[in-house]
Amino acid sequence: MPHSERHEELVAALAAGIPLGVEASELDAHLAEVCARCEELRVELTEAATTLAAEAPAVAPPAALRRRILDSLGPASGTPAPTPVRPPMPSRRRLGIAPWLAAAAALLLVIIGLDDARLRREREDLRSRSAQLAGRLQSAETELAQRALRARVLESDDVRMLELGGKGPQPKAQGRVFWSDRARRGVLVAGNLAPLPNDRQYELWVFQNGKPINAGVFDADAQGRALFESKDFPEAAVQNFAVTVEPRGGMPAPTGPVVLVGSPT
| Separation between Cα atoms, residue 90 and residue 60, nearest integer Å | 10
Going by C-alpha positions, the residue among 50, 48, 33, 35 that lies closest to residue 5 is: 35
Q: Cα–Cα distances in Å, from 116 out to 8, 47, 62, 105, 156? A: 9, 16, 39, 16, 59
* pTM of the predicted model over 0.95: no
According to the model, what pLDDT value does residue 191 have? 95
| Separation between Cα atoms, residue 58 and residue 80, nearest integer Å | 31
Q: Domains in the chain, please, with CATH?
A: 5-70+86-129 (no CATH), 160-264 (2.60.40.200)
Specify the amino acid at residue 200: R
- What are the beta bridge partners of residue 95? none
CB of 165 closer than 8 Å to CB of 261: yes
Strand order in the sheet with 211-218: 211-218, 200-208, 240-247, 258-264, 160-167, 170-180, 185-191, 226-229
CA 82, distance to chain mean position in Å, is 71
Flag residues of the chain having pLDDT under 70.
Answer: 1, 16-17, 47-62, 65-66, 69-70, 72-117, 140, 142-156, 236, 263-265
**Angle in degrees, CA 145, 147, 150, rounded to 5:** 115
| Separation between Cα atoms, residue 220 and residue 79, nearest integer Å | 102
CB of 215 closer than 8 Å to CB of 205: yes
Q: Tell me the HSE value of 161 on the side-chain side, using a 13 A CA sphere.
A: 7
- What are the beta bridge partners of residue 243? 204, 260
| Separation between Cα atoms, residue 197 and residue 215, nearest integer Å | 21
Phi first, then psi: what are they for 210, rounded to 5°? 75, 5
- What are the beta bridge partners of residue 201? 246
- What are the beta bridge partners of residue 190? 175, 226
According to the model, what pLDDT value does residue 111 have? 66
CB of 175 closer than 8 Å to CB of 243: yes
* Element containing residue 148 per DSSP (H, E): helix 99-149
Using one digit for the tens of pLDDT, what is the confidence trace for 25-79? 877 887 787 777 777 777 777 766 666 555 555 556 667 766 776 676 666 544 5
**144 Cβ neighbours under 8 A, 6+ residues apart:** none
Using one digit for the tens of pLDDT, what is the confidence trace for 237-246? 788 899 999 9
| Separation between Cα atoms, residue 109 and residue 24, nearest integer Å | 18
